[in-house]
Amino acid sequence: MATQKPSIFRRFFGFIGKIFKAIRTTIGIIFTAILIIAVIGMFADQLPPMPEKGALYLAPSGILVDQKTYVYPIDTLLADQSMNNPETLVRDVIDALDAAATDDRITHLVIATDYLEAGGIAKLDEISDALIRFKKTEKPIIAVADNFNQSQYFLAAHADEILLNPMGAVLITGFGAFGNYYREALDKLKIKVNVFRAGEYKSAAEPFLRNNMSPQAREETADMVNRLWQFYTSKIEQLRGLDSGTIDNFANNLDSKLQAANGDIAALAQQQGLVDYLATRGQMRNYLNQKIPNNMDDEYSAIDMLAYLAHIQREQSAAPAPADKIAVVVAKGNILDGQQPEGTVGSDTLAQILSELHYDPSIKALVLRVDSPGGSAFASDVIRDALYHSQLNLPVVVSMGSYAASGGYWIAAEADKILALPTTITGSIGVYSMIPTVDESLAALGIYSDGVGTTDIAGIMQLDRPMTAQAKSILHSSVNNIYFRFVTLVANGRSTPIADVERIAKGRIWTGQQALELGLVDELGGLNDAVNSAAELAGINLYEVVYPSRLLTPYEQFIQEIGHNFSAALKPLGFNAWLPEMVSKKAQTLISPLKYLSEFNDPRNIYLHCENCPM
């Protein structure tokens, strides 16, 4: 008897079942491989040995920051593991330099800047202080690079000897603040941007109102960049023993000077006294081998910054920890409402960190490190309330980083003491609200809005309707009210008459040096100075500095550990990532739009934000 052939439907669903079975099997294999690699990574990540005599190899990568930006868990797995550290903590650099200065095992400092992308002038200045402290030990400092940009060269200028690749360059071009202006484009698109602001220098919304910079914005921006440039050039000239005006002359006449040097920009840098030697990579290595104690392979002995810090922390952990602690809480990035990851300042996130300090009796003082151009007015006030009007009851010292302006100054104003760096950008005491309406754009497409409401302001926030005179009046009054609160808050926090604050407010930005002269800050100094001030206010001498942060979820911790172990396990095999680079980049491109839904999220659309701060 012939066997009956299965129906087409049965065959189809059987085929689908085989596909799902194959998928389940593949997933099981991948998951097992992940676990095996992760376990291998746990044992592969060994700390390099500490040399008996050798150099500290300082090679900061990416951008200098006060707090590393949160990396989303999926990115941790997809990213090229060789590039999973695009940021360098300023405090890591300073801690390593200060420890190495008194460490007999460290005989030299090698500064390699090729992987440093950028660093705000204030952060560079803070590291400069640590480099100068190191120089006082008379341990030699050698800087090497293929090329030097402005940030890189500022660090290299502290070296006793600077080596540049003969195919490289020293690119010092000056400081600038340039931006795009959209008024004409918005007019063509028939988009109207309704802006309400308090403070004639509050320029955050100008790109949507004009086609160029306003006279007020041009005045304050020119003053700021000129002051910072003067600081930069004079510091380098002092470090390199150059005549005053050398750097400015080099930048302004680079074309003619380069022609005279037959287009050889590396040779020009040596002629101008910016570098000491021109050397290829091989020559640099040979030079370092001759200058620095060698290991058994005839290569100079050295340890990189992170490995060195790990050794120092391991050695310090053997000693009993002090009973008293000073907490350093970092507020870095735009200030947003609610819970936010690192890289932005979430009002609820920071308030939660602060509230947990109340339950730790060992915390005797708080240092708030502000590195923010501001953001949401509501979120800024939530943080201010958690800092100064809750049950925290601790001395609060504010340390300003690259910028602590607008909302960044709002959360700093009531501190017991405020310290800024000379090149910090602060102030910007002003307020704005910006709401676009697209009714004319839609009308051009034949789309109209109509309906009824129970009050005259029922549709006040509909972007597809023109803004009424009542709506404009409401927003204008709200902005003026927040501005008055801002000025009053500063006057009370700084014990200054309101009239005096009004004269220096108006949304204007100031450098840290100017802020000291105007009474907006108490002293000039970096984070370590702020910690010392906090200890003095708390009346303690022996203490441990801790850095409270947002608690990661178990899922985040698991993914981060898996990603770290992947890196450790695959590195000896010659792989930088477990996905091909092209697939990794494509996956990240597809995922990235899901990560950021909005830049600002104030519930009333009122912002304390400094447009000219991020430089």
12 within domain boundaries: no
331 within domain boundaries: no
Higher-pLDDT residue of 247 and 204 is 247
Tens-place pLDDT, residues 396-425: 999 999 999 999 999 999 999 999 999 999
Ranges assigned E (strand) in 223-308 = 277-278, 302-304
112 within domain boundaries: yes
558 within domain boundaries: no
* Confidence (pLDDT) at 21: 72
Q: In whole numbers, what is the pLDDT of the chain averaged over residues?
A: 86
118 within domain boundaries: yes
Tens-place pLDDT, residues 569-594: 545 544 444 444 444 444 444 444 44
311 within domain boundaries: yes
* Confidence (pLDDT) at 575: 46
Higher-pLDDT residue of 413 and 598 is 413
Q: Which of 125, 62, 152 shows the shortest CA–CA distance to 401?
A: 125
Query: Is 347 assigned a catalytic role?
Result: no
Range of 284's domain?
54-176+219-315
Cα-based distances in Å from 158 to 20, 38, 124, 606: 63, 42, 11, 44
Query: Is 406 assigned a catalytic role?
Result: yes
CATH for 290: 3.90.226.10
* Confidence (pLDDT) at 460: 82
Structure tokens at 25: 């099997």
Which one of the listed residues 68, 123, 135, 202 is annotated catalytic? 202
Considering just the CA atoms, what is the radius of gyration of the chain in Å?
A: 28
Classify the C-alpha dihedral 565-567-571-574 as positive or negative.
positive
Which one of the listed residues 151, 399, 406, 584 is annotated catalytic? 406
271 within domain boundaries: yes
- The total of structural domains in the chain comes to 1
Tens-place pLDDT, residues 329-365: 999 999 999 999 888 999 999 999 999 998 899 999 9
* Confidence (pLDDT) at 592: 42
Tens-place pLDDT, residues 473-510: 999 999 999 999 999 999 999 999 999 999 999 999 99
Q: How far is CA 534 from the centre of its chain?
A: 24
Cα-based distances in Å from 474 to 38, 471, 481, 507, 604: 58, 5, 11, 21, 11
Query: Cα–Cα distance between 232 and 18 in angstroms, integer?
Result: 68
227 within domain boundaries: yes
